[in-house]
Structure 1
Amino acid sequence: MPRVAIVGSFNVDHVWRVASLPQPGATLSGEYMSGPGGKGFNQAMAARRAGADASFICALGGDLGAQLARSLCTAEGIDLRDAESSAPTGTAGIYVDAAGRNCIVIGAGANAALETGFVACALDELDDMAVVLVQLESPSEAIACALGHGRATGATTILNPAPANAAVAGYLLELADILTPNETEFAALLGRHVGERIEADAVGNLDQGRLHALCRQLGHRSTVIVTMGASGCFVSHPEANLRGDETACYRIAAEAVSVVDTTGAGDAFNGALAASLAQRRDAAFAEHVRFAGRYASLSTETKGAALAMPRLAVS
C-alpha cells in the first residue's frame, strides 16, 4: 500500500478541562488527564486510523514518554523511526474550556533535537512513499530535509504551518505541494510573506476572489487549503494544476457534529488528507478535502488529541 511519511513531534499531553480558559493571575479548578500528543504523532495516528500505511519519524528522550510513544506505535501499526535524544521527550500543557476551545503551552524537549541526517536516512529506507507530511514543532532544517526528499522522490509534500507563532521560512513554502494553514496561521503567513495585515477572525468573511488572490500570493505553485473550523475550509489551486478539480477555488462546508474538544482537529484533517491522497490517487482533490473535513469533524466529538482520532477501515 502507498505510504504516508510523517516527520514531526511527539509530546506527552497534560490536559485540564476547565469552565473557562485561564486569565493572568487566575487559579482554576478543573479535570485532569494525560495522554499522547504532538502534532506529528497526532497526524500519524490520524493517517493510520484513516486507513493508510504510516511511518512516523521523530526524536524521543530516554524516558517514560518515549516508552509510551513506542508502545502506542506498535499497538496502532505505525512504523516508528525515532532518534534518541538526551533531552526529555516533548510535553504540552493543554487547557480546554466548556465550549471545546483550547490554549496550549509546549516544551519541545527532544523534538528540538531532530536532525537532518537522521530524517534523510529514515526516509531513504521507505518504499512506495506517496505523501510526506510535516508541521513546525521540529527544527526547520529537518522539515526542509523532509520536504526536499519528498519532492525529489515524487511524493506529494504537505506543509501544515502550525503552530501559528512558528517562524516559517520562505523556502519551506516553496517545497510544499500543499499548504494547510488554519485562519490564524494563514493571517500570520500573510503578514510575514505577503505584507498583508488581516485579522484571523476576518479571514472566513473574505469574498472568494479576494481569498483566492491572497492564497496565490502566498502559495505561488502550491495548493492552499485554509481550514476554518465550524466554517469549513477554502481551497485554492494554481491555474496550472487543479489536481482533478473543475475550478481553481471553492469552499467546502463543515460537517455538523456535537463538539466536545477541538484539540487536534487540525491534525486530524491533515492526517486524513494525507491518507486519502495516498490511497485514492485518481480522485479529484475536492473528494480528499471532503474526506479530511468529515474525519476532522468526527475527531472533535471525543476528548483528547491522538487517541481521539476516529478509527476507520485500517487493515
Structure 2
Amino acid sequence: MPRVLVAGSFNVDHVWTAARLPHPGETLGGRYATGPGGKGFNQAVAARRAGADTTFVCALGGDAGGELARDLARGDGIDLREAPSAAPTGTAGIYLDEAGNNSIVIGAGANADLTADFVAAQADAFADAAVVLVQLESPAPAILAALQRARAGGALAMLNPAPANAEVGAELLATSDIVTPNETEFAGLLERRGGRSPSGAGAGALPDAQLHALCRELLPHGTVVLTLGGAGCFVSHADDRRRGDAGSCYRVAAAPATVVDTTGAGDAFNGALAASLALRPTAPFAAHVDFATRYAAASTEREGAAAAMPRLTA
C-alpha cells in the first residue's frame, strides 16, 4: 500500500466557542472543549482516514497529552515515530466564533525537540513513503531533513508553509516539489523573498496570469497550490512539470458545506491531497486537488481538528 509520511507537530487543543471572537481586554462567556490537534497530527489523521497508510514523525512529552497521541495513533492505525521530550506535549488555545472563524495561540512544548537526527533515523519509514508532508510548527532543521529524505528516496516532497509567521528559508522551498500556502502565507513568502506581494483584496482576486507569475517567482521548479478558503484554490505548475494536467494554471471551486468549524480545514486539505497523490500516482493533479477540496469541505461540518477528519477512501 502506498504510504504517506508526515513529520510535524502534535498539540492538545483547548477550544473556547463564543458568539464572536473577543476583543483585546474583553471577557466573554462561551463553551469549552478539548481534543487532539497540531498541524502535523491533523494532516496525518487526514491522510490515514483518506485511505493511505501513514507514518507520523513527531516529538511527545511523557504526560497525558503524549498518551493521548499514542492512543489515537493506535486507534487510527498510524505508524507513530516519536522523539521523547522532557517538555510537556504541545498545546493550542483556540477561540472560535459561531460562524466558524478562529484565532489560535500555540505552546510548542515537546514539538520544539524534534531534531534532524531523529528524523534521519527513520530511514525505513522514508524508504516506504510515496509522499512526505511537512509543516512549520516544528524546528526548521527537522523539517528540512524530512524534505531532503523525501527527495533522496524518490518521494514527493510537500511543504505546507504554515503558520504564516514561521520562517521559510530558501532551502526549504528549493527542496519542495509542492508548496501549499493560504493567501496570508503566500503574501508573506513573497515579501520575505523580496518579490512582489499581493495587496488589497488578496491574491485570490488577481487575474490568473498575474497570480501564476507570482507563483512561478515563489517556486520556479514545482507546483504551488494556493488555498483560498471559500473561493477554493489556485494551482500553478512549472511548464515542464504539469503533473498530468493540460494547463499550467487553473482554479478549483470550493465544495459546498454546512460550516460548523473551520479549524483544521487546511490540514484536512493537505492530508487528503497527500493521500490521493500516494494512492493514485498516475491520475492528473487536478483530480487530486478536487478530492482534497471535497475532503476539506466535509471536515468543516464537524467541530474539532483531528477528530473532525472524515473517514473516506480516495
**TM superposition score normalised by structure 2:** 0.98
The alpha carbon displacement at 1:203 in A equals: 1.1
The alpha carbon displacement at 1:294 in A equals: 0.4
For the Cα contact (< 8 Å) 1:194–1:217, is it kept in 2?
A: no
1:109 match? 109
SS at match of 2:246: coil
The alpha carbon displacement at 1:237 in A equals: 0.2
For the Cα contact (< 8 Å) 2:270–2:292, is it kept in 1?
A: yes
- Work out the CA distance in 1 between the residues paired with 2:234 and 2:215: 10
SS at match of 1:14: strand
1:254 match? 254
SS at match of 1:302: coil
- Work out the CA distance in 1 between the residues paired with 2:217 and 2:160: 17
Q: Which whole-Å deviations, capped at 9, do the CAs of 1:116-140 have from their partners, x for residues lacking one?
A: 1110111434442100000000000
Q: Which whole-Å deviations, capped at 9, do the CAs of 1:15-63 have from their partners, x for residues lacking one?
A: 0011111211100111000000000000000000000000000000010
1:139 match? 139
2:156 match? 156
2:73 match? 73
SS at match of 2:81: strand
2:271 match? 271
- Work out the CA distance in 1 between the residues paired with 2:125 and 2:258: 42
- Work out the CA distance in 2 between the residues paired with 1:249 and 1:149: 28
- Work out the CA distance in 1 between the residues paired with 2:201 and 2:118: 39
For the Cα contact (< 8 Å) 1:260–1:302, is it kept in 2?
A: yes
The alpha-carbon distance between structure 1 residues 81 and 153, as it changes in their structure 2 partners (threshold 3 A), is same
User: Which amino acid letter does the alignment assign opposite residue 11 of structure 2?
Assistant: N
Q: Which whole-Å deviations, capped at 9, do the CAs of 1:85-126 have from their partners, x for residues lacking one?
A: 011100000011111000000000000110111101114344
The alpha carbon displacement at 1:222 in A equals: 1.4
- Work out the CA distance in 1 between the residues paired with 2:241 and 2:114: 33
User: Which amino acid letter does the alignment assign opposite residue 85 of structure 2?
Assistant: S
- Work out the CA distance in 2 between the residues paired with 1:7 and 1:72: 16
The alpha carbon displacement at 1:313 in A equals: 3.2
For the Cα contact (< 8 Å) 1:183–1:200, is it kept in 2?
A: no
- Work out the CA distance in 2 between the residues paired with 1:188 and 1:38: 21
Q: Which whole-Å deviations, capped at 9, do the CAs of 1:161-187 have from their partners, x for residues lacking one?
A: 000010111110001100000111111
- Work out the CA distance in 2 between the residues paired with 1:28 and 1:65: 27
For the Cα contact (< 8 Å) 1:14–1:35, is it kept in 2?
A: yes
1:9 match? 9
Say what the alpha-carbon RMSD is for the aligned residues: 1.1
- Work out the CA distance in 1 between the residues paired with 2:278 and 2:297: 21
User: Which amino acid letter does the alignment assign opposite residue 88 of structure 2?
Assistant: P
2:214 match? 214
For the Cα contact (< 8 Å) 1:157–1:177, is it kept in 2?
A: yes
For the Cα contact (< 8 Å) 2:136–2:160, is it kept in 1?
A: yes
- Work out the CA distance in 1 between the residues paired with 2:253 and 2:100: 20
- Work out the CA distance in 2 between the residues paired with 1:5 and 1:181: 19
The alpha carbon displacement at 1:200 in A equals: 7.5
- Work out the CA distance in 2 between the residues paired with 1:263 and 1:153: 33
2:86 match? 86
Aligned length: 314
Identity percentage over the alignment? 63
For the Cα contact (< 8 Å) 1:224–1:237, is it kept in 2?
A: yes
1:236 match? 236
SS at match of 2:204: helix
For structure 1, which runs of at least 5 residues remain unmatched after alignment? Answer: none
SS at match of 1:47: helix
- Work out the CA distance in 1 between the residues paired with 2:200 and 2:252: 19
- Work out the CA distance in 1 between the residues paired with 2:307 and 2:74: 14
Whether 2:190 is the aligned partner of 1:190: answer yes
User: Which amino acid letter does the alignment assign opposite residue 312 of structure 2?
Assistant: L
Q: Which whole-Å deviations, capped at 9, do the CAs of 1:249-271 have from their partners, x for residues lacking one?
A: 00000011111100000000000
For the Cα contact (< 8 Å) 2:144–2:172, is it kept in 1?
A: yes
User: Which amino acid letter does the alignment assign opposite residue 21 of structure 2?
Assistant: L
Q: Which whole-Å deviations, capped at 9, do the CAs of 1:182-219 have from their partners, x for residues lacking one?
A: 11111111111143232474211000000000000001
Moved over 4 A (4+): none
For structure 2, which runs of at least 5 residues remain unmatched after alignment? Answer: none
2:33 match? 33
